[in-house]
Amino acid sequence: MAINPNIKKILQNIRIKREEQNITRLQLETDLNLGTGWIEAVESGDIDPPFDLVLTIIESLGIDFSAIVSNVEFEKGLSLDRKINPIQNKQDLILNFKYGDYDASYTLKNATIGSFSSVLSEFRNAYSKSDAIILSFFKAIEVWPNVNPSDIWLFIISKIYQDRYNHASSEINRDFSQSWKRASGWALEEVFARHYQETLMEHGILIGVFSKKKKIELLNKMRLNYAVEANKADVLLINTRGGNYDCFGVAHIKASIAERRQNDQNFSGALLAKNFFSPFVTMDCKAFPSSTPNNRGELGGVIGSDDDLRNDKRKEFEEEGYFSACFSYNSNTNPTPEGQKATSRIYKMDFKNVNDEFTELVIASRNRLYGR
């Protein structure tokens, strides 16, 4: 990762002071009992050196600390290494972050620093890691209703989470990139469950993320010809009419199409064999690293008038029919065209209207199994 530009300027000043004293890198490494190449790596900015090492070098050279910072013209907003940096540009908000090896940016049209701060506030005031993700995402789709939900998840919420300064100081040494992988999976399940919860309950349907014990109990009642692990059942759909609380479907929730799809397909096949509802629900996050990444997803093109532009992932839904349907919350997704025959259809979704195709198909599936 590239070193902070302001820190690099300070390190270059240390090099200048060393050269003024005619002290070689090898001499300095010998004086400090350092291995070969350390001083070169520090001065060139090849590494982001620990502060105690920088202080040790300054002390060894007998440099006045003020002498190496007094003439540095600091680049505004770059002194603190943040995973995401918002900058107001007239009526738009430019979000700067690292994406792969690139210094990337993402533009939020007609957005303000204030709206970004409101999302951050929801994140920081949450009582748990997963809730921080959930509440900040819901705030984000509230203040930026026309922004691609998948972009919000991939470029904004994930970056906010992985910025250590958005967490308690006691967690300074935590690897938040790994923590994101663990916390975001459960959080995404909760996002979808909470989004549809109130509306589906009006129709006698409970949607939720349940405890392992409760999942086992509900799945056993379904008598599937498949030994499913409880943690593989993401979000359960329960018919509450009649007081029996029967599970009639499982929604498979994934941030991307590629994420552990094989296990979901096997599980889904067992559900479909018993006529249960088995939708694949995804943010379909996929953007190749660049300075302006485009989160185009993985579902590719559709059947045109002359050519079949579909990729294998799309055919798994439309031809193989591993799931009841695919609901993609990426605005760049191409839905299955009207009139096209498909074993299961791909729908392009958003969070603007809860009375959408997902709600309609959930209700229809319950009614098909249990009547109106």
HEC sequence for 291-323: CCCCCCCCCCCCECCCCECCCHHHHHHHCCCCC
**In sequence order, what E strands does the chain have?**
85-89, 92-99, 102-108, 205-208, 235-239, 246-254, 280-282, 326-328, 346-348
Given a cut of 60, whether residue 77 has pLDDT beyond it is no
**28 is written with which tokens?**
């300095």
Q: What is the pLDDT of residue 76?
A: 63
Q: What is the distance between the terminal CA atoms of the chain, rounded to a whole angstrom?
A: 58
Poorest-confidence range of 69-78, 305-314, 326-335? 69-78
The vertex-205 CA angle with 204 and 207, nearest 5°, equals 150
Is the pLDDT assigned to residue 235 strictly greater than 60? yes
- Residues 6 or more apart whose CB falls under 8 angstroms from that of 44 comprise 11
Separation of alpha carbons 43 and 22, rounded Å: 15
Q: For residue 93, list its beta bridge partners.
A: 88, 108
Least confident residue range of 165-169, 284-288, 364-368: 165-169
As a whole number, mean pLDDT of residues 45-66 equals 88
Average pLDDT of the chain is 91
Q: Is 104 helix (H, G, I), strand (E, B) or coil?
A: strand
pLDDT at 1 over 90: no
% helix / strand / coil in the chain, to the nearest 5? 45, 15, 40
Residue 117 carries which side chain, given as an amino acid letter? S
pLDDT tens, position by position, 345-372: 999 999 999 999 999 999 999 999 987 7
pTM of the model as a whole: 0.84
Alpha carbon distances (Å) from 68 to 45, 47, 60: 16, 19, 14
Looking at 5-9, 177-181, 296-300, 325-329, which range is the least confident one? 5-9
127: pLDDT strictly greater than 70: yes
For the beta carbon of residue 95, count every other beta carbon within 10 angstroms.
19
pLDDT confidence of residue 78: 53
Interval 141-160 mean pLDDT = 97
Q: Which of 304, 287, 288, 283 is nearest to 348 (CA)?
A: 283
Whole-number percent of the chain with pLDDT over 70: 96
Mean pLDDT of 151-169: 94
